[in-house]
Amino acid sequence: MRIARFAKDGMDPTYGIIELAVDSGEHPDTIATISGDPLAGVPVNYTGERFHLDEVRLLSPVIPRSKIIGIGKNYADHAKEMGGAVPEHLLAFFKPNTSVIGPGEPIIRPAGCDEISYEGELAIVIGRFCKEVPAERVKDVIFGYTIANDVTARDWQRTDGQWWRAKGSDTFLPLGPWINTHLSLEEAGHLSIQTTVDDDLRQDGNTREMVRGITDLVVELTKSVTLLPGDLILTGTPAGVGAVADGQEISISIDGLGTLTNKLISE
């Protein structure tokens, strides 16, 4: 399933199932409304309401209740372009849930920040409480996958001892457009990732290039951290990151997960 959150005509945020048309000319993409929170572990029930996708506003498909864990330098070419090698030990950091925005919402450059960079990434959405997960159980704790833009203030990243504002400022984590729940671990490990800025291709990678794959990341992280339903793991970004200017539009596409588009504006 492709699960999304959306708003329409003053409705409270609502979950729905994306139904992509085979022939968009004759049958437009739709979203079928479901009741409850699918991440709460309850069965999905259709309400009977259905809307054309262009009639609704897609929101972030998940607002993590607990935490977002980012992984740094998990692609060798990206580590090289950042001036170093892949770290011997896992390089991880936290982003707050207040950094989350949805598709189409603006990324806001904070006052005093001069260099904003995009990072297109595959995000793992956790589906159940888990700790010390063995490799053979990783598939059981993953709810699905979505697209993330790990927006980074490079000037603050270089000067600050911690990355709290460089990675965690408000609007610094666009997510969406939906969560794909039917990908296997093998499929999720072989997905094309492309990032464009104003239609100029900047990143062209594949999740098979990750140094530490999805299974390794979940196993390693849960040795010390308990993951909760709705928590996110950002798996790292391929080579090709770079600065964007105010008014430029960043689009990240991943096989089976759609395209996430956001524009940078000043505060």
Instruction: Please give the CATH topology (third level) of the domain spanning 68-266.
Output: Fumarylacetoacetate hydrolase; domain 2 (3.90.850)
Structure confidence at residue 26 as a pLDDT band (50, 70, 90):
low
Classify strands 14-19 and 173-180 as parallel, antiparallel or unpaired: unpaired
Tell me the pLDDT tens digit for each residue of 117-168: 999 999 999 999 999 999 999 999 999 999 999 999 999 999 998 999 999 9
Domain 2-58 has CATH 2.30.30: yes
Tell me the pLDDT tens digit for each residue of 72-101: 999 988 888 877 788 889 999 999 999 999
Nearest residue to 237 via CA among 91, 66, 104: 91
Whole-model pTM over 0.85:
yes
Nearest residue to 235 via CA among 98, 68, 116: 68
Q: Would you say 227 and 126 are in contact if contact means Cβ atoms under 8 Å apart?
A: yes
**Where do the structural domains in the chain lie, given as residue ranges?**
2-58, 68-266
Give 6-53 as a DSSP string: EE-TTPPPEEEEEE--SSTTTS--EEEEEES-GGGTPPPEEEEEEEEG
Tell me the pLDDT tens digit for each residue of 47-59: 999 999 999 999 9
